[in-house]
Amino acid sequence: MTWGLGPLFERPGLLIGHYVGEFVTPGIGHIVREAGGEFVFLDMEHSGNTFETINRGLRYFEAAGLPALLRVPSDAYHHIARALDIGAEGIIVPMLGSAAQAKEIVEKIKYTPVGKRGLGLGLGNDRYRMAPTVEALRAANARTRFVALIETVEGVENVEAIAALDGVDVLWVGHSDLTASMGIPGQYDHPDYVKALARVVKAGKKHRKRLGRLVTDVEGAIAEVGEGWDTLCYHGDAWLLQVAIRQGIDAIRAGTAKGKKRK
């Protein structure tokens, strides 16, 4: 049985989603879906979200028909396997450094004969659907996706080998951590960082992998699509709310100040 990320990632062209780290609430899936989002980047690394919270959140996104990528805390088997068993279809692992590490992660994500994931069938990963074992394994292997998070110097140096690996579906750049790893934190116009991005794009295009990143401004996002990025996560839940609140409050204060001056 196929749903979610499989058909979405196989569709050519631009995909745009939203980062959710703070507000894993019952309505969040419908809110993002109605806003035009095509997927969510659900986070456990930089949040207080537990597996119990994520378990509920995945049901919220399923109810809205919104596929979810889940960034787990590490590449540990128990993090990846638990995330998959409760229903995550796309796994993002932080600080990916090498093709060997990526291969091990693929083996943790996929069932036999592709990988070594322990069998836990008829659970959230199967949407509680009971099916013959061989059929269930084949369907799960076809469904699950691996997003390789390139956010270290080591990851960039090995990106060609990572991109060439079967089972890697997306190359995703963690821009903040990458600049920090390069010793130029926050310097997104630095020539070395620009070269690193170009190297990731080149590797992704060569091996026909999707290219993902987080964006927080519209003009920048449009420019990045022109560079080859085709899987964008537009802004994050807490940041976007804060920006909107700040803009409104600042506008009210500025308008009030102008009115007082006229008097």
The residues carrying an active-site annotation are 46
Distances 77 to 9, 41, 91, 145, 244 between C-alpha atoms, Å: 24, 20, 12, 16, 39
Determine contact, residues 141/129, Cβ cutoff 8 Å.
no
The CA-based dihedral angle spanning residues 173, 177, 183, 185, taken in that order and rounded to the nearest 10 degrees: 100
Q: Which amino acid is at 6?
A: G
Compute the residue count for the chain: 263
Cβ pair 100, 168 in contact under 8 A: no
Q: Which residues, 6+ apart, have CB-to-CB distance to 224 below 8 Å?
A: 213, 215, 232
Q: How far apart are the first and last CA of the chain?
A: 69
SS3 for 186-224 is CCCCCHHHHHHHHHHHHHHHHCCCEEEEEECCHHHHHHH
Task: Using alpha carbons, select from 168, 45, 145, 152 the residue that is nearest to residue 99.
Answer: 168
